[in-house]
Amino acid sequence: MQDLDRLRAEALQAAANADSLDALENLRVSTLGKKGSITGLMKTLGQMDPEARKAAGQALNAVKDEVAALLDARKAELEEKALDARLASERVDVSLPVRPETTGRIHPISQVMDEMIAIFGQMGFEVAEGPDIEDDFHNFTALNFPPEHPARQMHDTFFLPEKEDGSRLLLRTHTSPVQVRSMLKSKPPIRIIAPGRTYRCDSDMTHTPMFHQIEGLVIDKATHMGHLKGCLIEFVRTFFEVDDVPVRFRPSFFPFTEPSAEVDIGCSRAGGELKIGAGADWLEILGCGMVHPNVLRHCGIDPDEYQGFAFGMGIERVAMLKYGIPDLRTFFDSDLRWLKHYGFLPIDVPSLTGGLTR
């Protein structure tokens, strides 16, 4: 038993220095195997008297357990290093295309949104954002929707389950809550655009439950309807890249603007082909108006001192008109063939100096 301390020290040192799983297994066999050094000492216990056997057995078991624990810990460490080495050697960079000729495409929604931001940004508008999940005040009440308005009903709006107090959150039905939040957060003058996702209970060839809108808001002391018309006429002609596209404003009604108007652009449908520009027909593309005084009051702005205008349009709609996309639902089909046809190269960054399209 005088060799026990030496065997322990040698086994622990060898386990710590083992640099492979094979070396560690050989060490286990040579120490703890049937013919191992520690096992050999265990076989000598039968030759001792009871008192000496008890003391020697306890010492041998302690050394055996210590060596076995170190061998297990070292094995786990070497297995982890082996796995890391294997993962590193078999690593695949999935961000690179499989074939050199394969290139990604920018979705038309993203491209059109960037085009709009470039146009309105040149006019001095800033981009504002807000949450997709809204409360009743920001989505309806602050925007002058009466309690019985159809938009507040379940068949038009995605409501979340009721809270204990009876209130309900909802998926915003327009990006107008961003206008409300901007007015509550900032003092006039305000000039923002709010692009983003919106949600309504509707689905057909021209409607989807989730779609994209962009809305604009200007609040100042000297803002009037002429500024609104000039802004939108400039936008329409720049976006569609048609200098002489006719634009008309038709009286309409929205709870949050007064007066309100819908904007039509001239078009031609000769030969069954829709062409934006001078023609015999008209096409409605957006709604607008002067911000209702009640909306200003809800947002803590004095309507006797400030006034402003707002507008909003569907991004999918104008994208379909500009790029000849016939069905709204195809925007969300995740069809690579469709994206390859209608998508844009990453280098096609919209810019008023370089042109919106190439």
What's residue 310's pLDDT?
96
* 96 or 246: which leads in pLDDT: 246
User: Stretch 173-195: mean pLDDT, rounded?
Assistant: 94
Question: Each residue of 306-344: pLDDT tens digit?
Answer: 999 999 999 999 999 999 888 888 888 888 889 889 988
Highest average pLDDT, of 87-96, 189-198, 240-249, comes from: 189-198
Task: In whole angstroms, give the CA distance from residue 301 to residue 304.
Answer: 9
259 pLDDT band (50/70/90 cuts)? very high
What's residue 289's pLDDT?
96
Question: Each residue of 64-123: pLDDT tens digit?
Answer: 777 778 778 888 888 888 888 888 888 777 776 666 666 788 999 999 999 999 999 999
What's residue 358's pLDDT?
46
Query: Is 246's pLDDT higher than 50?
Result: yes
46 pLDDT band (50/70/90 cuts)? low
Q: For residue 184, which phi and psi values (nearest 5 degrees)?
A: -70, -30
What's residue 354's pLDDT?
57
- Which of 61-70, 255-264, 342-351 is predicted with the least confidence, judged by mean pLDDT? 61-70
What's residue 99's pLDDT?
67
* Nearest-10 Cα torsion for 89, 92, 95, 99: 120
Task: In whole angstroms, give the CA distance from residue 1 to residue 54.
Answer: 13
228 pLDDT band (50/70/90 cuts)? very high
187 pLDDT band (50/70/90 cuts)? very high
pTM above 0.75, yes or no: no
* 286 or 22: which leads in pLDDT: 286
**Mean pLDDT for the chain?**
85
Task: In whole angstroms, give the CA distance from residue 8 to residue 26.
Answer: 16
What's residue 155's pLDDT?
62
Q: CB within 8 A of 227, min separation 6: which ones?
A: 218, 309
Question: Each residue of 116-158: pLDDT tens digit?
Answer: 999 999 999 999 999 999 998 999 999 988 877 777 665 678 8
Query: Is 33's pLDDT higher than 60?
Result: yes
What's residue 101's pLDDT?
61
Q: What percent of the chain has pLDDT over 70?
A: 90
User: Stretch 4-11: mean pLDDT, rounded?
Assistant: 71
What's residue 356's pLDDT?
62
